[in-house]
Structure 1
Amino acid sequence: MPEFSLGPEFERFQRDLQEQMGDFTKVRESVRDAVGRGEAAGGRIVAEYAAEGGVTKLEIDPRALRLPAAELAEEIRAAVNGAAGDFQRKAREASTALFGLPDDPRDGLDPAKALASLDKIANGFAGQMRDLARELNVQQQRVADAMNDPRGPGAAGSPGPR
């Protein structure tokens, strides 16, 4: 019986798709694993921030509790905001290469560059889908030809793959 294959176009499509999905997976895992850290009050207040759970850690040295309530609240806020900012920086670094984001957030997002990156991904996927559809049509025709062969599929002398 002849070996069934969707052809090199489909294999290329699979490889490219796996590579693109691998890039997305790496970014998602990097963001999921990122932990932002912030300190305030001379290191006496430490906060950590993560994608899952938001503020995941808040340590307050007992000496920081001697601060007036308003100042303590401000220092806690500074530590938490620092941790959130650090987390955002790490998430941005993880996605910079994939989406063409600027290294320095003060530079702002270049919409043209981000759209070009997304357009490249979309066009690559669309082209691969066209190739896959073409190859599936060829394979479908081969199956139809084999089924219509009066000698039956796989019979000696029946036409093989084209």
Structure 2
Amino acid sequence: MSEFGDLANLDIERLLRISEDYSAKVQEMQERSAELKGFAESKDRRIKVTCTVSGGVTDIDIDPRAMRMPTANFAETLKTLIHDANADLQSQLSDLMTEIYGADANPLASEQNRKSAEEKVEGAASMFDRTLGEAMTELERISKQLGL
């Protein structure tokens, strides 16, 4: 083991390429997600709701005939359509993230990938523990050599 552990073998060029690739993906995600619109409409097509990432509910189209509905039904229908439009938008975002980042890196699909994510976190924690242990061992060795 070298004095610097695995840091001595770090491929800076590769890290830069990965960083640039990730930055490009983030930029693409921002640009393309700005164009997405979630949509929902009532069964009779008299009430329509549109949602966007940046604006939330951006459009509510109500046919005048829908105003004849009882107030409670109208309010419930509107709440349901807002929820459905947001769900449609979230589904589109999830699909876009899967397309751009890949299925394993899609945070919106986290429930589907929860077990995989937990395994990755456990692996990272284990690697961290090993690296920390090696660093502490190396520090103890150096401390003994220096008589501290």
- Shared fold (TM-score, shorter chain, > 0.5): yes
Alpha carbons 1:37, 1:47 under 8 Å: kept? yes
- The CA deviation at 1:101 is 6.0
TM-score (norm 2): 0.60
Equivalent position to 1:111, from 111, 114, 138: 114
Secondary structure of the residue that 1:33 maps to in structure 2? coil
Match of 2:33 among 31, 34, 44: 31
Partner of 2:81 in structure 1? 79
1:66 to 68, 76, 81: 68
% identical aligned pairs: 26
The separation in 1 between residues aligned to 2:49 and 2:69, in whole angstroms, is: 18
One of 89, 100, 104 as aligned partner of 1:100: 104
The residue that corresponds to 1:20 in the other structure is 22
Q: Which runs of 5+ in 1 are unaligned?
A: 1-8, 123-162
- Could you say which residue in structure 2 is the equivalent of 1:46? 48
Any idea what SS the aligned residue of 2:34 has?
helix
Extract unaligned runs of 5+ from structure 2: 1-10, 125-148
Residue in 2 aligned with 1:137?
none
Once residues 115 and 31 of structure 1 are traced to their aligned partners in structure 2, the CA distance between those partners, rounded to angstroms, is: 27
TM-score in terms of structure 1 length: 0.55
Local SS of the residue matching 1:37: strand
Distance in 2 between residues matched to 1:39 and 1:101, nearest whole Å: 32
Distance 1:100 1:115 in 2: 12
Deviations along 1:63-85, whole A, 9 cap, x unmatched? 11111111111111122111101
Q: Does 1:55 pair with 2:57?
A: yes
CA RMSD of aligned residues (A): 3.2
Report the Cα offset of residue 29 of structure 1. Answer: 2.4
Structure 1 residues 58 and 22: alpha-carbon distance in aligned structure 2, compared to 1, 3 A threshold: same
Q: Secondary structure at the match of 1:43?
A: coil
Q: Which has the larger radius of gyration?
A: 1
Mean CA deviation greater in 48-57 or 90-99: 90-99
**Counterparts of 1:66 and 1:41 in 2: how far apart (Å)?**
15
CA–CA distance in structure 1, aligned partners of residues 26 and 48 of structure 2 = 31
How many residues are treated as equivalent by the alignment?
111
Larger relative CO (CA 8 A, sep 6+): 1 or 2? 1
